[in-house]
Amino acid sequence: MIVLDKENRVFTLRTKNTTYQMKADQHNVLIHTYYGPRVGDSDLSYLVRYADRACAPNPPEAGLDRAYSLDTLPQEYSTCGVGDFRLPSIEIEYPDGSRAADLRLTDWEEERGKYTLDGLPSFYGEEGETLRLYLEDRAANVVVELSYGVFEDRDLITRSVEVHNYGSASVRLRQCASLCLDFQRSDLDLITFDGCHMMERAPSRAPLRSGVQGVGSVRGTSSHQHNPFVVLCDREANEDYGLCYGAMLLYSGNFQALVEASQYDNARLVMGINPSHFCWTLEPYGSFTAPEAALVCSPRGFGQMSRQFHRAIREHLIQDPCQGERRPVLINNWEATYFDFDADKLVEIAKTAAPLGIELFVMDDGWFGKRDDDNSGLGDWTVNTGKLPGGLEVLVPRLKELGMKFGIWIEPEMVSEDSDLYREHPDWALRIPGRAPARGRNQLVLDFSRPEVRRHVYERIKAVLASADVSYVKWDMNRSLTDVYSAALPAQRQGEVYHRYVLGVYEMLDWLRRDFPHILIEGCAGGGGRFDAGMLYYTPQIWCSDNTDAIDRLRVQYGTSFGYPVSAMGAHVSVTPNEENGRITPMETRGVVAMSGTFGYEMDLSRTAGEDREVIRRQVAFFKEHYDLIQRGDYYRLTDPFQNGPYTAWEHVSPDGREALVSLVTTSLRAAPSFRTLRLKGLDPKRTYQVNGEGRWPGDVLMEAGWPLPLDLFQGDYRSLQLCLSEV
């Protein structure tokens, strides 16, 4: 709900549990007055304090009032060069070389429905509301348009920024953040989600200290190393207690999230496109749109925050071609065959998988061009008929006869130097003139900032997809961007290439969704290197990590769950010993972990023992039976795998509280194990439940007293347990 006090120019955004408020003060500076647990519609600007601070400049309108300084005010969108020395949200370079921004509120408007962004991902929904505020730098004829989206039931507030140049000369945008959030306190912890390839999104928590701290990426993607999602919280906040703020950027390229604790114990969070390597020229009457950011404030800990993000992403961000129907369980041939396959080998794997209830066969890398290893072929998107005689037109019907749908792997953004495409168009790759390029996985990056490059690649892939009944596409991207230079742009606009590249990826994904609306797209970037809300707008699921070891995945999926729902996490059962770390894990446990994701298998099932095949058959049937509960239920983290306890546990609860599924994996053993009791969450305390079809257990008892874990669970490496709760 949006509440406007036009007379006093107070703007209040209300959700079910939170209040967000701004006000234009006596000098038309838009100050931030409050964001926190829901309160009434009072003018909260009384919380803003004024004092004469030495060395704090005063704007000209303040006259002799030395207590009024931009350097001490909580601002809604921070400026630079005119008296605020803290983190800026925007920096503009003018024709004379000066850099400043002095923004004052001039107008506002309210709209029904949630705003959309041209060429960028955003939350959507007619039930949302939009508030637009217009700030002007009159000396520069620049207007900054702040848009706010409000989803009341989801406690979600979104923000976006559009900059308009109404001057007669071009200006250069050096920084344009999507989010600025000022706190009149600094006794907060910052949580970021960090890691590396194969061990992504581990929570890192530290108290704010004086100065600037944060995370970012200059890799061209959101990256394995840092995620564009951060949390600020009370020092004592945990899963169920304490005030916390989650901030998520809907962007898949270079980003930055910085927090500054100031000299007067205030804090400022600024989040958006990383200003490193960024410079955008705004022609007269031109505009620039920054990516959307989303906020959730939870007065009741991380769990409530996560569940609100999960619901909002599932209901108002992901555009799922399955439209509420169950997504198929898949088998991927990569770890079974790598590049060494032909049509008969693929069909043999499918013949083993289909009787087990697996419904989708995904053909991974190696099906196109001259592609027998990772040194050649990328960019030549034509079917290798030596491996697949007759092309997909022959292979796909053979799989359909087995009752299986067909999916295919692509890596559209990359090119091999040993390819027909590169030989014909070497200037289509990102390369700095006069320099030998860096390579990753023996490949270069195509210049997706250029429309003709995107169109050429898309038309080739489109022809392949149109040649057969394709149900699924895995869109991969296996290296960071280097040598970022576009042969199509002049020198003074090279600072636009990174962002134009991301916009190009989004445009091509839009084409793919438009032309093949029935195809389910899974994103991937060396695993989880581009696991962000921007990609989820186009790809309903993302390969969570190239690490398929079930025990490592407990940590990866735990950290990912703070911001992103289970339904978005690509997760598969793979072979044991695991090919990455050699760990031996029971088939039952590998299935328990993978089904807390999109669920599938990445192995040669023809080589599995008979008893393992029977386990797989049961796993697939169990997942299908509990699909709605797992994929659309509320998610509860019961333990923290980074605490190195004896087990990791999590829980899915149906929205109506009538069903729940508890999953647990043991992670350490000792002689003479302790008696342990697991306390559940999210149940209706007034309902009575059966556990695995037996007994009668009140919900409050299971949550407060708990469920005793059997001792034999701790006898054997990496055992697992699942408890199915249903209302009696």
Q: Active site residue: 137, 155, 546, 612, which one? A: 546
- 3-state class of 152 per DSSP? helix
The 3-class SS string of 520-557 reads EEEECECCECCCCHHHHCCCCEEECCCCCCHHHHHHHH
- Residues 445/426, Cβ–Cβ less than 8 Å: no
269: exposed, middle or buried (Cβ count in 10 Å: 0-12, 13-18, 19+): buried
H helices within 561-675, ranges in order? 587-594, 610-625, 627-632
What one-letter code names the amino acid at 396?
V
- Given CA atoms 35, 40, 43, 49 in this order, what sign does their dihedral have? negative
Residue 411 phi/psi, 5-degree rounding, is: -135, 75
Cα 466–chain centre separation: 30
Q: Which single residue is written with the structure tokens 């000792």?
A: 670
Neighbours of 37 (CB within 10 A): 13
- Per the structure block, which two tokens stand in for 497? 């290439």
Q: How far is CA 476 from CA 4, 16, 364, 638, 705, in A?
A: 46, 39, 10, 33, 46
Matching residue, tokens 């499918």: 350
3-state secondary structure of 91: strand
Contacts of 452 (CB under 8 A, 6+ apart): none
Whether 346 and 363 have beta carbons less than 8 Å apart is answered as yes
State the maximum Cα–Cα separation within the chain, in Å, rounded to a whole number: 86
Dihedral (CA of 442, 553, 188, 230) sign:
positive
C-alpha–C-alpha distance, residues 77 and 90, integer Å: 8
Residue 673 tokens read as 């194990």
Terminal-to-terminal C-alpha distance of the chain: 39
User: Sign (positive/negative) of CA torsion 140, 142, 143, 146?
Assistant: negative
Phi-psi region of 39 (alpha: psi -120 to 50; beta: other; left: phi over 0): beta
Respond yes or no: is residue 43 known to be catalytic.
no
The span from the CA of 141 to the CA of 562, in Å, is: 42
Marked catalytic residue, from 476, 532, 552, 612? 476
From the CA atom positions of the chain, what is the Rg in Å? 27
CA distances (Å), origin 656, targets 317, 634, 652? 23, 10, 12
Catalytic residue ranges: 476, 546
